[in-house]
Structure 1
């Protein structure tokens, strides 16, 4: 085994290497559970409208196209305020700004229970996007304050398991709320869904305000030696990053290419995320609770696959092929979901492959831009990439709804999403290995 080296390429003892591993484990146990909890409720509040649709569409007379537009308009608000929000976070600190984001989006999500018309539905979805803008790129930026690129893949994977966990937990919970509370206090099940699932965001936002540490230097639970080790690793990592201004980020061709890749992957993510309950229903399953339980299966598989892929990518220090392979698996799953649409068991196998492949691209993808952007450029670049990518969060659900309504079939929409995932895989392989494989 090669002798481990420190951040400045100075040989260190095996005891020191063990100490470094223990230090990062300590950081992970301190930061990851809270951030993971934040993202679970964030993603749940973002996509629970997919379950609400099972009742809400009939109550509010929403067509598939209207629902798709309303589900996606969230991302227009998100897009407009993404970069400003992340720059504010970089200036005022993660603790206050992430708490502010969580509390406001929780309140907006809860108020969605009172919508009565398509216009009100569009407005609340837009305001939810404005409230949540900057959360995910802010957390990704926050991780760069603690971890070098070589350790960020697995850390990001643990964070992004929130996407899968929110489906694993939220599916059965949403199905139960729709059936068990329907009619209680003369409210529909979908109204209770927004109320019950929005409240945790407010409470956890208050927890963030009291518990989240801003940076290494202010963490009282780290010793001076541990702080020095972590800071030295970050300094060494910074030397490999592109030093550029915020303005130059927006003219950097590589940033635009990575933004396009993210756009294509998000097309697949939210195309499936917002429509998974409807796709399962289309296989012949009618009961909302059963749909919720079945929807947990793809997300449970995604947790296992994502963590395994991220660990392997960190060990190999290779990102591009892992990203491409995951995206192609997602595309294959979408195609098989069309082929097996009339068979619930086979369709669930296909949707599990699609969901696991698509979600696994996320933590692997975010290792690409954070490998070469640092400082204020990272704050602006990460937010910009996420904002451009999340425009697909508007286009994806709307395109699925429009195609489904126009063709009376889910097949064309699944073909579109599969093509997006495949193209994203090809473009990921086009990135220079020396830039991102660290």
Structure 2
């Protein structure tokens, strides 16, 4: 089959890898509008469930991703510069540019034609393609061509946010909340290598305007934010110079859903199909799981493309329902931060921990995490879980190298 992926992000690249592993005879092309090496964003986060999926589907790229990732072993909440409240947990982070480099190299090694500086607005330029995967992001132009068919719904969040980098290396995944005369600002910070962390800063629009961010230039914005968060940044700098992409802007999060995910031979994937709020850190995972789902359905229906696309549509939309609900709950919690900040630090951390839904054990775990000895025990338990996961991956990882059925 001749396939074209429009968009060179994780979704399109990973799908191209799986397509080639499924059947090397597939003619697969990935086209990306930006030059090679140019991307937006800093680091992305993920957890063991994504690593499990990666190892099951392509152990080669999975191992490279695992070897390149940074790990954090706890989460901390700082309110008004007070001592940290620990809310446990662990996860992984990787620079987006490094992730793309791994996937590009793997795709090219399997024979995928990866093209850069190729802007696509009309799928008709690929008239000979049997399948066109629209993975061209939040503002997908391929989706816009058939927006009434896809029944796209775009809902804009109320808060302003800006995705920055910093040379402050956070040992823990860090939430920091600071009060100014104009209102509250907060950040989500996590390291993704030994020198750099992601720092996503968010606030209500009234605060954003009152502090003058609607008129400040990029450099003035950074200096002002560094002053507000000086206790957590500890003299380190914020960066907004994206690699080849200019200055990072302030944005409102766009929540995107679609009632249909395919039209004829054009199928949506990743952010063009759906978005989930960055506060739950699932965008990259869901994009890659879309790729896995489409590849699986194409293998299950090797001679019936419409059936494969319909099965993919039904499977992935159903799989997203719970996480989209959790993401909405999380984003709405952050849109109402001022309603929670008058609580004491423990109550506030508990509210943050349970913003996606309550758990009978969460309060006990929160309190246990405040004791250094118990916190150390919990870290050992997490380390044991990671070891078990790693052992299972080593035994169970099998590449999709078998010929297609039939």
TM-score by length of 1: 0.27
Identify the structure with bigger relative contact order (alpha carbons < 8 Å, sequence gap 6+).
Answer: 1
- Select the structure that is richer in helix: 1
- Select the structure that is richer in strand: 2
TM-score by length of 2: 0.29
